Structure 1
């Protein structure tokens, strides 16, 4: 009987770990879709079912220290890029359990905000981040790599 309980507990832990890895929550290395270069580390966190993402560290050695978002037009204008919240208001898609959307993503280089769709891939080791205007077909996708 104890072996059955241990097996059941192990299965529950493994199932929970697999689920957690398919969530967008975690630390991600962003990869520029045009240059293929590593850009930053972004931590996506969840609070009450709403996901947000913040730049923890920029990886470009040439990035100016203490850089602020000059082109931003919202409450992030003039704020430091390091530590900036670039993903806001994302929730699990009610029609497609593999997607998180409904929020926005900011490109601090141009100050523009786009709708965003997050889709974990490769068992949660990668995250497809699609920024778009209007329909998801009109946008760009970056593939981020899970760090932890």
Structure 2
């Protein structure tokens, strides 16, 4: 009976460890974005898998002293025009890139500051603790990257 109990505890711990490892093998989760120009924390975003694609939405913004509270995307076009930035889906369409288990491509990312939509790709790094997100026009060589840090659960 004692061995069965120890085996059950060991199995439970193994399942928990595997579940945590699986989470780190995917960008799904909550991330803290770091401004590529200033190096400061800029926002918290949630990435979810929807229909086999990754989507990201803004859940919190770290406002600078010169920024208005409750910002809207006044430079956006279409359905996002004048909509609140918080809660907005700004990243969409990312799919696994070939056989790589750490890269996603083929998506789009919106910069709410200028309202422009760019091609997007993302690479999971540092054992799932960072996500390198690149927005670009045409080719990934012509773009900007940010490194996002995974939020602790």
> TM-score surpassing 0.5?
yes
Q: 1:65-87 deviations in whole A, cap 9, x for unaligned? A: 22211111232111111111110
1:88 corresponds in structure 2 to 92
1:138 corresponds in structure 2 to 142
Equivalent residue runs for 1:51-90 within 5 Å: 51-62=54-65, 63-90=67-94
**Contact in 2 for aligned 1:58/1:82 (Cα 8 Å):** yes
CA apart distance, 1:6: 5.5
CA apart distance, 1:89: 1.4
CA apart distance, 1:7: 4.5
How many aligned residue pairs are there?
Answer: 148
How far apart in 1 are the matches of 2:104 and 2:9?
Answer: 34
Runs of 4 or more consecutive aligned structure 1 residues displaced over 6 Å after TM superposition: none
State the TM-score, normalized to the length of structure 1: 0.89
CA apart distance, 1:9: 5.3
**Contact in 2 for aligned 1:118/1:128 (Cα 8 Å):** yes
CA apart distance, 1:140: 1.0
CA apart distance, 1:4: 6.0
2:39 corresponds in structure 1 to 36
**Contact in 2 for aligned 1:38/1:60 (Cα 8 Å):** no
- Larger Rg over CA atoms: 2
CA apart distance, 1:95: 3.5
1:98 corresponds in structure 2 to 102
- RMSD across aligned C-alpha pairs, in angstroms? 1.8
Equivalent residue for 2:19, pick from 7, 10, 16: 16
1:45 corresponds in structure 2 to 48
CA apart distance, 1:5: 6.5
**Contact in 1 for aligned 2:120/2:133 (Cα 8 Å):** yes
Q: Secondary structure at the match of 1:75?
A: helix
How far apart in 2 are the matches of 1:134 and 1:45?
Answer: 25
